[in-house]
Amino acid sequence: MISPIINNLIYLLLIILCLCIIIVTVIIFLSRKAIGISKTDKRFMKIAYKEAEMALKAKNGPVGAVLTINDKIIAKAHNQVETSKNYFAHAEILTINKALRKLNIKNFGEIKNKAILYTTYDPCTFCEGFIIWAKVSRIIVGKNEPLVNSIKKDMSHLTYKIRKKGGLYIDIQTKLFKKFLIVNIKK
């Protein structure tokens, strides 16, 4: 038989465990809320998806991107890897380069307003590196999974942190990629 003291101790530990689970859940909820998706984010992501559709029509991988500052579109682009025969012509890279040239700056750390990048697919490792160097402050991602088997390393050692939120209009991105794969499989 279990003594009443041990029984009460087990009961107390279970209560503490439940409280810890509740606290962790609240912390996760609040951290997600802090970089949540707004109506403005949805509006710009729809524009990024229009760019992705343009890429698909041009027989490129359907990825689109939009960069904003103060809720104004600074630049937008779509994937052009196939048509330009240039592996650097990813939507995110093209968009960021356009914005930097338009603003005549080296990176977005040079301006006080925060740059937000909307991209329809989780950036590959190459694009993530470029995003970090460009000092984009926030990324809103459509389909939140890597397109290629990229190496997702712990980047906690970096001094520059990017806030990232994903999962916006996943169904649209899935349909676009299915269309792209069907067309390319027929080749």
**Two tokens at 183?**
């067309």
Sign of the CA dihedral with 21 first, then 22, 27, and 33 last: positive
Residue 78 β-bridge partners: 64
The two tokens of residue 161 are 């942190």
Query: Chain-centre distance of CA 140, in angstroms?
Result: 4
Helices of type H across 58-90: 81-84
Residue 183 CB: number of other CB atoms within 10 A?
A: 11
Q: What is the largest CA-CA distance in the chain?
A: 77
**Which residues are catalytically annotated?**
92
